[in-house]
A and B are shown apart, each in its own frame.
Chain A
């Protein structure tokens, strides 16, 4: 059966609402409007305004309200329309959601799920094209997940909700319309996955760039280069073991990340490989990230700013001995 990523997220949410009366949704335009990415269309009618709460444009307050509701025994799923607006809620995410458990000496856990769209590629210009999941992955106390596949979009919500600590879910905007065969959902929020096996180089990525990376791996295969593709899935805590095992096998790594290069998640992954697998490497770890510019509006400039399959192919070829 073929479904879209949007439908997979939607099924996961409906499932959560059906199974647990403590679960409710809160966010901008999720109810009457149906969700800015149409994920929650029809939910208001199905579950009612108590559980499908349209909020005012008050990101800081409704995210903080989610923290409080989680403390109070509910299982809120807060939708911050996009990562771009999450900056308005950053204080509550960082200073309350993430810190509360440690700061209270373990007395208060915050079982809160925050969903948001992330990433560029729709010509939405600089303020609407951020990829800041790497920033969030900097913060101890929260978990960061980035479902890139239909299975993960369907499967990662339930364990996120079951987790006693805050989990932030980043859904790449370009994925909502992606169609795919729906199989059994993958259910953990702890492990990276090998999405394509290979022998010559390991490509490590997550979220929206997974598909560009797989495209690059396909192109490399045509040139006789066998690339293994790792989907991180969970950006905090990182599953080092899975990508290290692959890097030890292929002895080369390229990290692909839509975040800006400086201080990026790619930098973190690269450092971990260097720290733990330095002597297994045949070449320095390479990175393909976004150019360090605000993402521009015109299509050709936007494309030039973002990681693309040809850039990934070129980065891989630069690591391999000339044939």
Chain B
């Protein structure tokens, strides 16, 4: 599955992509651990296995572009530039969190980076992304709105409604479908009569791309082309990133619906180790380099945990703050 083509980057650029993936991986491994310690509660959906998509695609966006993501969005938030400290504090529900602790894992928001969630209703972000793009279009601002969603969202009516609206009104939305094959526990071929998702998007007259989402090089290259396409033409594009989640759907999921063998097979193509191997094979990185990078990332994660631990709880008197905008 992994193309195995030479990594077409200089060392620095390659290490940036690796660093993004590693930050997501180590952050989430720590989150899983903290969940076990009940420091993080509620739902926790891990992105482990899918890191190449966010790591490869999101750096391509310009700072003024907008992002709309799902409840599996820690990786997107990190790559977009939301501080790991604020993100970890949000996981804890602390006041220092990027959503003041109000949202938790599934509701990451950040006005500074135009990160519009974090949406825990499957497909719920799609029409919002269309609206953000409409606002840009009407104001004559040439920006891109990137909308990430899983293949499960394709079954929702709102997917079709939103794709139609974006195509009809020629709005600059980059639809990024992260196809990890399972909508919770239901495999795509058990829920979709047409499993080629690009066919659905194409039915609205939206051009499509299909990308190996386990290969950060492929994702990055595809994202460059895709973002440029949307930006230049100011019209929508649909990209299917074929990927796989290594962990269960959420921490509550016993993961009984798929073969352990299948998971193991996908892990062979894990985005992190395959990219690391390629970088080493090409002489772009040594094992020492990797260890140094990993050490830095682990230190950042440890600092984020300390930050979250030291964070404060929002006072109960502020419970109803921000239900409405204060006059």
Q: List residues of A whose CB falls within 8 A of some B CB.
A: 24, 50, 53, 55-56, 58, 60-74, 76, 91-92, 95-96, 100-109, 140-141, 143, 163-165
Q: Please measure, in the bound complex, the distance between the C-alpha atom of A70 and the C-alpha atom of B165, giving whole angstroms.
A: 17
Q: List the B side residues contacting A76 at CB < 8 Å.
A: 131
Contact with A along B135-148 (1 / 0, CB 8 A): 11011000001000
**Contact across chains for B109 and A107 when beta carbons are under 8 A apart:** yes
**Contact across chains for A64 and B127 when beta carbons are under 8 A apart:** yes
Chain B CB count within 10 A is highest, among A24, A100, A107, for A107
Query: A76 — nearest CB in chain B belongs to which residue?
Result: B131
Distance of A142 from chain B, by nearest CB (Å): 9
Query: B104 — nearest CB in chain A belongs to which residue?
Result: A103
Contacts A55-B165, A101-B324, A165-B324: A66 and B109 contacting too (C-beta < 8 A)? no
In the A-B complex, list the 3 residue pairs whose CB atoms are closest, starting with the nearest.
Answer: A68-B131, A72-B135, A64-B127
**Contact across chains for A62 and B102 when beta carbons are under 8 A apart:** no
**Contact across chains for A103 and B138 when beta carbons are under 8 A apart:** no
Contacts A72-B131, A92-B127: A105 and B325 contacting too (C-beta < 8 A)? no
Q: List residues of B whose CB falls within 8 A of some A CB.
A: 66, 68, 97-103, 107, 109-111, 116-121, 124, 126-136, 138-139, 145, 157-158, 161-162, 164-165, 168-169, 321-325
**Contact across chains for A108 and B134 when beta carbons are under 8 A apart:** no
Q: Please measure, in the bound complex, the distance between the C-alpha atom of A103 and the C-alpha atom of B165, giving whole angstroms.
A: 27
Selected from A61, A69, A104, the residue in CB contact (under 8 A) with B164 is: A61
**Contact across chains for A64 and B132 when beta carbons are under 8 A apart:** no
Q: List the A side residues contacting B323 at CB < 8 Å.
A: 101-102, 140-141
Contacts A55-B165, A56-B161, A165-B324: A105 and B98 contacting too (C-beta < 8 A)? yes
**Contact across chains for B168 and A56 when beta carbons are under 8 A apart:** yes
Q: Please measure, in the bound complex, the distance between the C-alpha atom of A67 and the C-alpha atom of B158, giving whole angstroms.
A: 14
Selected from A61, A67, A106, the residue in CB contact (under 8 A) with B161 is: A61
**Contact across chains for B109 and A65 when beta carbons are under 8 A apart:** no
Q: Please measure, in the bound complex, the distance between the C-alpha atom of A61 and the C-alpha atom of B139, giving whole angstroms.
A: 20
Q: List the B side residues contacting A109 at CB < 8 Å.
A: 325
**Contact across chains for A164 and B133 when beta carbons are under 8 A apart:** no
Q: List the B side residues contacting A164 at CB < 8 Å.
A: 325
Q: Please measure, in the bound complex, the distance between the C-alpha atom of A240 and the C-alpha atom of B243, giving whole angstroms.
A: 55
Distance of B8 from chain A, by nearest CB (Å): 35
Q: Please measure, in the bound complex, the distance between the C-alpha atom of A191 and the C-alpha atom of B118, giving whole angstroms.
A: 35
Q: List the B side residues contacting A163 at CB < 8 Å.
A: 325
**Contact across chains for B136 and A61 when beta carbons are under 8 A apart:** no
Distance of A91 from chain B, by nearest CB (Å): 6
Q: List the A side residues contacting B107 at CB < 8 Å.
A: 103-104
**Contact across chains for A70 and B325 when beta carbons are under 8 A apart:** no
Q: List the B side residues contacting A96 at CB < 8 Å.
A: 119, 124, 128
Q: Please measure, in the bound complex, the distance between the C-alpha atom of A145 and the C-alpha atom of B284, giving whole angstroms.
A: 63
